[in-house]
Amino acid sequence: MTTPKDFSACVAQYDPNALPVEAAQEIVRQWAMPRPSDAQAERASLHDALGRVLAEDVVSPIDVPAFDNSAMDGYAFAGAALARGVDSIDLSVAGTAFAGRPFEATPGAAECVRIMTGALMPAGCDTVIPQELVTREGDTIRFPAAKIRAGQNRRLSGEDLAKGRPALLAGRIVRASDLGLLASLGIGYVAVRKRLVVAFFSTGDELRSVGEALSPGSVYDSNRYTLFAMLRRLGVETIDLGIVRDDRASLEKALREATGRADVVISSGGVSVGDADFTRELMSSLGDVAFWKIAMRPGRPLAFGRLWSGARPGAGKPALFFGLPGNPVAVMATFYFIVREALLAMSGAARQPLTAIRASAAGPMKKRAGRTEFQRGIATRDADGRWSVVTTGSQGSGVLSSMSEANCFIVLEHARGDIDAGDDVEIVPFDGLI
């Protein structure tokens, strides 16, 4: 188990005034340990398991398929008939095998069985000739031997999943195909990790909640809504602690309450250079917190560390803490590229790297070397299936509409300078961001 001292040591290797994104991600990765598994498992029915993290491997209790069956509508026969070296095979139809209604007898060497997809292979039969390859006259079929090889069009028992083998691994986030797969094994309940609990709040005297009137100089709090949505999509349990005023007592109360109730605490606002000194001092006094200027845009100021709910650091209950910047786009960019992976790791999920695709820049883009930029882009596919991307225009970190307009982040790497039209850039599509 890492101690607060380790945190300082770990962070001290880096320049907090120009921390590359990769370094911040690495530090966060070291700190986001999954909670111990056995203490954290609960049973969920299939419907409730959707989107949850499996706490244990799911071992297949049966072979799937459970019996050899036909992959086609056609005629089942013994493939040995093909070894006789004749050009054309003639067989007489001994009966029919339907899915769920087997043909009970054993056909003879010169016989075949009309068979439907999914039906049990009749005894002695190992091959299915698809119906469109045969000519049938009365109860006899004929087909060219060259059209088929012995063993074709038969699904073998245990071919999908063998009994006793893991079908899904611990750490998997259960998706649609997994629910179907579990059902195909006859499994109705699985052990899933308890949901990670994340408390969040916004800071700022200028913030008003939806439903309140705006006075001069005030703005509506949008960060609590984007955070709520992003957290929900990750499958964590959320505690919304509202708006916290820019004063020491309110902030201390909110941080302590959040730390006492949650595994992770996320705040927005109050971490930039211009903010009252008490914010930094207070956050530090409740635990071990590093203030970073990450070399990224948007999202430069960020606080990260561990807070304690007790009277002094090390007392009470700890929680991981992310103090995100206040600007609405910066909140989203830092969430996806700094916070997301930590929450998944703490939830016990296997690593799920974001999907990145190469695209061609449709026009020039301004980019400053020495920081990673996450510009908002609109990507389209041309007729040849290649992706090209344009920016949404104004890249101000307060312009939240740029996120609604965009369908991807354009990730411009640390060392890169201006981008010319036609250059390759990396995009991370919004669809599939979990």
Q: How is residue 151 written in tokens?
A: 């063993």
Interaction residues for ligand AMP, span 208-237 (CB under 6 A): 219, 221-223
Asked if residues 372 and 412 have their Cβ atoms less than 8 Å apart, the reply is yes
We find the least distance from the C-beta atom of residue 203 to ligand AMP, in angstroms, to be 6
Of 16-24, 59-67, 125-133, 270-278, the window that binds ligand AMP (rule: CB under 6 A) is 270-278
Asked if residues 336 and 356 have their Cβ atoms less than 8 Å apart, the reply is no
Binding of ligand AMP at residue 250 (CB under 6 A)? no
Q: Which long-range contacts link 165-168 to residues 24+ away (Cβ below 8 Å)?
A: 165/59, 165/60, 166/57, 166/58, 166/59, 166/60, 167/58, 167/59, 167/60, 168/54, 168/57, 168/58
Query: Given the complex with Mg ion, which of 152 and 272 has the nearer CB atom?
Result: 272
Query: Under 8 Å CB-to-CB from 151, ≥6 apart: which residues?
Result: 79, 126, 127
Q: Which residues bind Mg ion (CB under 5 A)?
A: 204, 269-270, 326
Query: Given the complex with Mg ion, which of 122 and 269 has the nearer CB atom?
Result: 269
Query: Given the complex with Mg ion, which of 242 and 417 has the nearer CB atom?
Result: 242
Of 157-165, 204-212, 247-255, 285-293, the window that binds ligand AMP (rule: CB under 6 A) is 204-212
Query: Given the complex with ligand AMP, which of 207 and 399 has the nearer CB atom?
Result: 207
Binding of ligand AMP at residue 270 (CB under 6 A)? yes
We find the least distance from the C-beta atom of residue 259 to Mg ion, in angstroms, to be 21
Residue with tokens 């850039």: 425
Q: How is residue 391 written in tokens?
A: 């920016």
Interaction residues for ligand AMP, span 307-346 (CB under 6 A): 325-328
Q: Strand (E) positions, 269-384?
A: 287-293, 296-297, 301-308, 318-324, 357-361, 372-381
We find the least distance from the C-beta atom of residue 328 to ligand AMP, in angstroms, to be 5
We find the least distance from the C-beta atom of residue 201 to ligand AMP, in angstroms, to be 9
Query: Given the complex with ligand AMP, which of 63 and 221 has the nearer CB atom?
Result: 221
Q: What is the DSSP letter of 355?
A: P
Among 272, 284, 285, 407, binds ligand AMP (CB under 6 A): 272
Q: Give the residue ranges of DSSP H helices in 239-276.
A: 248-261
